[in-house]
Amino acid sequence: MPSGTPCPCLLCSTEADLLKAVRLAETRIVDGLFSGSPHLRNFPSTSSLLRYLRSAPPDAEVDEILGELCAFLKVQSDLIESLLLLVFLPMLHTTIRKVTNVQTALAAEDVTQQTLSFFLQYLSSDDLAGRTSHFAFAISRAVKRKTFEWAYRQSVIENVEATQGSDAPALVVSEESLERHAALRHFLHKTLARHLLTENELDLLIEFKLEGNGGTDFEASGRGNSNMLRQRLKRLLAKLRRIARTRNGPT
């Protein structure tokens, strides 16, 4: 989980407060919680843990460490939430930046608040509580999905409100956009539930959209420069069209 670029945004400005709160409870965290955990006890301080988790690739060892941290959510939820928020701050920052770049009408503060809310909601979810592996992937995926879906809904709603005093055709278009989004979301969830679409394929579609509405921005980011990736996206979109056309597709 490599670190993102520092900036004066609302999310990054909370980092100092979080670090202060964690440092005040340093002894309780390190000598208390960490001392009884196979992997966490190897870290002499919370700062050393944060440095490691922010710089290390998401391998098996990182997964074990995150699993031990998540297990402590039931014991010291506030402190562990603060630690996990600091760990995932670069991911949250990147998600917010991508969403605000695509949905430019949304205020960065609103996107930040929603992203934080989705992050904390997932930390207390049954899905995370029952998970035994792939903690970084699951947390990142859940936050990105929820944030992007919320941002898209908000952008459509704001378009509807903006056209309230204008001509009727524009209002109809905006309302139809909202209906199309609801239908698409229903279609994708049904396709996933019937195992016609895999989790990885859905994640690829979400990332493709987040990187810039399915086109030039995605390629400019570097993720779309791979011919193999472009071919995979083409096959995936063709697969979805076939599912939508068949009588056996999700309804």
Percent of the chain clearing pLDDT 90 (strictly above): 35
Q: Is 156 domain-assigned?
A: no
Q: For residue 172, what pLDDT is reported? A: 42
- The residue from 92, 123, 139 where one domain ends is 139
Q: In angstroms, rounded to a whole number, what is the distance separating the alpha carbons of residues 100 and 144?
A: 13
Residues 169 and 118 in one domain: no
For 120-145, the pLDDT digits (tens) are 999 999 999 999 999 999 999 899 98
Structural domains counted in the chain: 2
Structural domain boundaries enclosing 209: 163-245
Q: In angstroms, rounded to a whole number, what is the distance separating the alpha carbons of residues 237 and 241?
A: 6
Burial letters 44-71, b for 16+ CB under 10 A, else e: eebeebbebbbeeeeeeebbbbbbbbbe
Residues 201 and 109 in one domain: no
Tokens of 66: 């995150």
Residues 30 and 123 in one domain: yes
Q: What is the CA radius of gyration of the chain?
A: 21
* CB contact set of 146 (below 8 Å; sequence gap of 6+): 114, 118, 121, 122
Q: For residue 151, what pLDDT is reported? A: 87
Residues 75 and 177 in one domain: no
- The residue from 102, 123, 139 where one domain ends is 139
Q: Is 1 domain-assigned?
A: no
Asked whether 54 and 87 are in contact (CB, 8 A), the reply is: yes
Residues 103 and 23 in one domain: yes
3-state helix, strand and coil shares in percent for the chain, rounded to the nearest 5 = 75, 0, 25
pTM: 0.68
Q: In angstroms, rounded to a whole number, what is the distance separating the alpha carbons of residues 101 and 210?
A: 9
Residues 133 and 168 in one domain: no
Q: Is 144 domain-assigned?
A: no
